[in-house]
């Protein structure tokens, strides 16, 4: 059994089971900014999707937690990537679905890795990204690329749709609490509303996205210096801009306030936003916050970037 993230499988492995992991992601700074050409600070988290493949009819088993439309999208995405590879693939996940944590990208990366392993040729991040992008295109049409790029690289990055993606090395551990604040509005609904506002007031929204890009670049520098206080402040400012752009909600704002009351250096929504989804908080020591949120019935977990 091979658990390598990249590389070729041996012939004996192809005859048995292949396995690969795709991590989920969080946007630290820069929701929606990549679509408009701005940099985004994003990081892979420890939770994600594991794909397992054995020789057999070319097919993928949809996880039971997927809705029928999601399961149909998965079948289309798998068909686009797999061809007639002769593998039966199953996936398991400890990543909440549809809350802004890149679940489809994590699945695409995990499945792409087992498909590439089965080909028996060496491969790296570039090949994983390219195949995962084909699957993500079936899920989302024209994704920005930040989700599957972050998952494929498995690290904290400063991403730009047009231009080089840079690894961001943290001088100190960036400890994040991820909390789920209810079911999220479909991404396409949130994006459509944002697009309409941007078309109505193009100059204003260009300035706002430009400022978010500046925040992302400043946050990357803060991470490399180990300045967690500055990173936290930038996260909170970013949430304020997202709120002003109509991307937050009372549930998300309430969770941000809760994180701050528990000692977060900064907190914000992560992902597309909308009526619900995930909120992230930056902590020097998140243990007490995790205990108190869990005691309140909040679905939450820690991840270190």
Give the list of residues 6+ apart from residue 121 with CB closer than 8 angstroms, or none. Answer: 8
Tokens for 173, please give them: 């551990």
Query: Closest Cα partner for 219 from 263, 252, 266, 264?
Result: 266
- 147, 227, 253, 285: which is the annotated catalytic residue? 147
- Count the neighbouring beta carbons within 10 Å of the beta carbon of residue 233: 18
147 catalytic, yes or no?
yes
Tokens for 53, please give them: 């493949």
Q: Which residues are catalytic?
A: 147
């Amino acid at each position: 059994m091979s658990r390598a993230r990249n590389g070729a499988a041996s012939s004996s492995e192809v005859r048995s089971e292949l396995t690969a992991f795709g991590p989920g992601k969080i946007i630290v700074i820069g929701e929606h900014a990549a679509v408009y050409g701005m940099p985004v600070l994003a990081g892979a988290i420890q939770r994600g999707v594991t794909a397992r493949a054995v020789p057999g009819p070319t097919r993928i088993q949809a996880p039971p937690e997927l809705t029928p439309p999601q399961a149909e999208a998965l079948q289309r995405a798998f068909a686009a990537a797999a061809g007639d590879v002769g593998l039966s693939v199953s996936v398991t996940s400890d990543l909440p679905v549809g809350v802004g944590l890149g679940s489809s990208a994590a699945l695409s990366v995990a499945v792409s890795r087992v498909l590439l392993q089965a080909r028996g040729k060496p491969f790296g991040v570039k090949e994983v990204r390219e195949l995962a992008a084909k699957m993500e295109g079936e899920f989302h049409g024209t994704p920005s690329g930040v989700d599957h790029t972050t998952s494929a690289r498995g690290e904290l990055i400063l991403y730009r749709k047009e231009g080089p993606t840079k690894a961001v090395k943290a001088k100190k551990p960036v400890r994040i609490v991820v909390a789920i604040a209810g079911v999220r509005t479909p991404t396409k609904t949130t994006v459509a509303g944002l697009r309409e506002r941007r078309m109505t007031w193009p100059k204003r929204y260009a300035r706002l996205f430009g400022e978010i890009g500046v925040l992302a670049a400043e946050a990357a520098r803060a991470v490399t210096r180990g300045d967690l206080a500055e990173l936290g402040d930038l996260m909170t400012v970013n949430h304020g801009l997202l709120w002003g752009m109509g991307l937050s909600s009372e549930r998300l704002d309430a969770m941000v306030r809760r994180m701050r009351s528990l000692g977060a250096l900064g907190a914000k929504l992560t992902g597309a936003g909308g009526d619900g989804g995930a909120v992230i908080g930056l902590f020097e020591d998140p243990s007490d916050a995790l205990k108190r949120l869990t005691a309140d019935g909040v679905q939450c977990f820690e991840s270190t970037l």
